[in-house]
Structure 1
Amino acid sequence: MKLKLAILGISILSFTVGCEKKMDRIFEESPTERLNISIANVYSTLQANKDGWLVKYYPSKAMEFGGYTLFTKFTNSTDVVVEGDMTTLAAQTSTYAVIPGAGPILSFDTYNRIFHFFALPQYFNKEKEYQLPGFISDKAGIGASNEGMKGENDFLVTKVSSDSVVLEARRSYNKVVLLPIKSSEAGTILNAYRAAVAKFHPMGGYKFEVGTESINATFATAATKRALLIAGTSAPFAYRYTPTGLDFYTEYDIKGVKFKELKYVEPGGSYTKGYFTNEAGTVKLVPTT
């Protein structure tokens, strides 16, 4: 009996070892090698578009400060040039790196006056030397004294291709999307976005119109005017200004009507300040002041 059990054990062991020898490797490279390949791909993709990238950036997890359009050029493997729709400040150059982590991490690793304004605590962003021309010039600054606008420096790269690069902020988990700027629009796109801010930002109040209902909206942060609150909701509707109107962080719902983008319609009839509407025309965001 013992002999039979011993023979059976040897047979099972031999079968297991034989199967292991026949198993193919799923990846040809080691995990470290695969990560290094991913990092190299991020570097090459960011630098490949010589006209740069449009960046949809929302600094705070709570969305109270809304969204901003940044324009970046990764000119080589160390330098990045940044401009923004919210300021007339000239392009600012700093450095970046793509480093290993849970995946490739895009790190803006030296101070850039435009990009890092969002990460400055209010203790600093209230000071004149840190403020951006045309944006938050109040001596009181913006945000909590130790947080400011809650921006970040490091972002996990979750997708990289020639048509888009998608990042995830390390603390807030906010989605940051980079879109390639076309050569045909490279010379005009920044001014087009700044013109949109100049046109839409002065509007001082809004109401939503859905069917026969009118719903007043207030700014989550009056200084930035890029996120709206309505009665009965705690999460703001956060958006960026665009040349055609408002582009929201995600799809929002009001009274059962969903929308992600609202395009501006010039003044006419009773809408003396114009209005923003979705493609179906089922919701309107109407300036009141």
Structure 2
Amino acid sequence: MKLKNIFKYLIAGILILYLNACSNATEADQLFEQTPTERLNARKTELKDALLSSEFGWKAVYFTDNTVLGGYTHLFKFAPDGTVQMASDFDGDTAVYKSEYEIQLGSTVSVTFTTKNRIHLLSDSDSYPIAALESEGYKGDFQFLYYGQENGDIVFRTNRTVKELRFVKATAADWADLPKNLIMEQNVIGGASRPLFRLLETNDGSTKHQFDFTYTTPTRYAEANSIEAGYTVSYDMGIGFTPTGIVVSPAVEVGGQKLTNFVYNDVDGSFTATGTGGVTAVIKYTDKPLLLTDDYKMLLPGQPLAWFGFYADDYTVDAPTNSPLFYAELAKINAALPAGQEISSIQIYTNHSLGTFIYYTFVGRAALFHFVDVVEDAPGKKVILKHKSWSNATTAAFVTSLDKYLTDPNGIYLKRESFRLFYSEPVYTFTSSSSPFRMTTWKLN
């Protein structure tokens, strides 16, 4: 090739590289020529378009703090005029309410629900499900920072706690079926016809493990502790409701798989999460405690004084181990008492100088003694509290419906719990052996 031609091709190549460089520089310059405000405004438009893009709006299962609280389903339908239709399963009211929202600019772009609606029930510090959350409420937020979109979801982080919250596209069925979440809540709580005890059973495809399972209704929270000696795995999880079952957070990890969605079986009341390769986790009922202890022996004659107390206005009333039947019986007593009177405590004393007795105290009424004898059922690892006498027959009439479970002729179990109820006193639960009655107390001596 002649030197003249080589020179021509070289010049042409340099020109092409120069033009490409100019083009790329122009694109980069255009990007960086945007001011921070312009970039934020672009993100604001992006979020607004996303919020308006779903025909049936968005759904979020909001676990405000999955170390102590469960999940609350919220549905949102955004309108261009700054209004939003909203519904939730926070309580029995699943109706749709209209309020206002704004897409706001700060250090980042956020959606803020500016007028009161269902989402604000989670951020009200004056409303709390248990005494331990006083002044914290349900730990929720009503401003969510926009972090982009992924697989069709809108990804946010909460303003106060910077926890991820995803909006997924809702369907017409999500709105129509929201009341079914509350039906499922009752299935999680368990009806009076179901056995009292529950377990979580995991299967990693080859080995099964069992965990004692307790659910706390006010907080939508569950705890599952291993009953196997030397196996220290436990699961604490927030519970959210769906029309067909529950969703849990954190996930139950079995065989390296994270299981979050449990399907309800109405025949036996179980909830099953299914993985691959035979991996499952099942929450199911059992007819008796998974682990019988010798704790009952401290109630036997000849032992030192034992004093147990349940208090209707203190932390024992929030114990996750209290059963629905127990709460129902407390309500029944209060409904039967004259106006201005209510039950205050239920205490059990064994080997007291006055004898062994169940001691009922009231607001606006004198206390009541039910004196009993203690009979051991050693094979069943339980005791029978046998009636001797009442201190006041008139007052006794108000409590006999509840008292019959503590004096169950088939006996009662006593178990020391692994958790505390705010104070340092150990926690014990009395359980009827033939009915779904369970009362949790402090041991006070």
Separation (CA, whole Å) in 1 of partners of 2:150 and 2:256: 35
Query: What amino acid is the match of 1:66?
Result: G
CA contact (8 A) 2:64 2:138 kept: yes
> Which of 152, 159, 163 is 2:148 aligned to?
159
Separation (CA, whole Å) in 2 of partners of 1:109 and 1:234: 40
CA contact (8 A) 2:259 2:281 kept: no
Match in the other structure for 2:179:
191
Query: Gapped runs of 5+ residues in structure 1?
Result: 1-18, 127-135
> Which of 32, 41, 47 is 1:36 aligned to?
41
Match in the other structure for 1:223:
218
Deviation string 1:45-100 (CA, Å, 9 cap, x unpaired) is 2123242211121122x531111111111123421222112333222222211111
Match in the other structure for 2:284:
287
> Which of 187, 196, 209 is 2:201 aligned to?
209
TM-aligned CA distance change 1:238 to 1:68, over 3 Å: same
Match in the other structure for 2:54:
49
| Greater relative contact order (Cα < 8 A, sep 6+) | 1
Please identify the structure whose Cα radius of gyration is greater.
2
TM-aligned CA distance change 1:242 to 1:226, over 3 Å: farther
Q: For residue 236 of structure 1, give the secondary structure of its aligned residue in structure 2.
A: strand
Alignment of 1:82-121 (within 5 A): 82-89=86-93, 90-112=95-117, 114-121=118-125
Q: For residue 48 of structure 1, give the secondary structure of its aligned residue in structure 2.
A: coil
Match in the other structure for 2:167:
178
Query: What amino acid is the match of 2:149?
Result: V
Match in the other structure for 2:135:
146
Relative to total residues, which structure has the larger strand share, 1 or 2? 2
CA contact (8 A) 2:57 2:77 kept: yes
CA contact (8 A) 1:208 1:283 kept: no
Match in the other structure for 1:72:
76
| Alignment coverage as a number of residue pairs | 247
CA contact (8 A) 2:214 2:224 kept: yes
Alignment of 1:262-281 (within 5 A): 262-267=262-267, 272-280=268-276, 281=278
- Give the superposed CA RMSD: 3.1
Normalising by structure 2, we get a TM-score of 0.49
CA contact (8 A) 2:109 2:146 kept: yes
TM-aligned CA distance change 1:277 to 1:234, over 3 Å: closer
Structure 1 position 266, deviation (Å): 4.2
Query: What amino acid is the match of 2:177?
Result: I
Which stretch of the first structure deviates more once superposed, 143-152 or 231-240?
A: 231-240
Normalising by structure 1, we get a TM-score of 0.72
CA contact (8 A) 1:45 1:161 kept: no
TM-aligned CA distance change 1:174 to 1:202, over 3 Å: farther
Q: Do residues 58 (structure 1) and 50 (structure 2) align? A: no
Query: What amino acid is the match of 1:190?
Result: L
Structure 1 position 170, deviation (Å): 1.9
Separation (CA, whole Å) in 2 of partners of 1:250 and 1:68: 14
Query: Gapped runs of 5+ residues in structure 2?
Result: 1-20, 227-231, 286-435, 437-445
Query: What amino acid is the match of 2:199?
Result: K
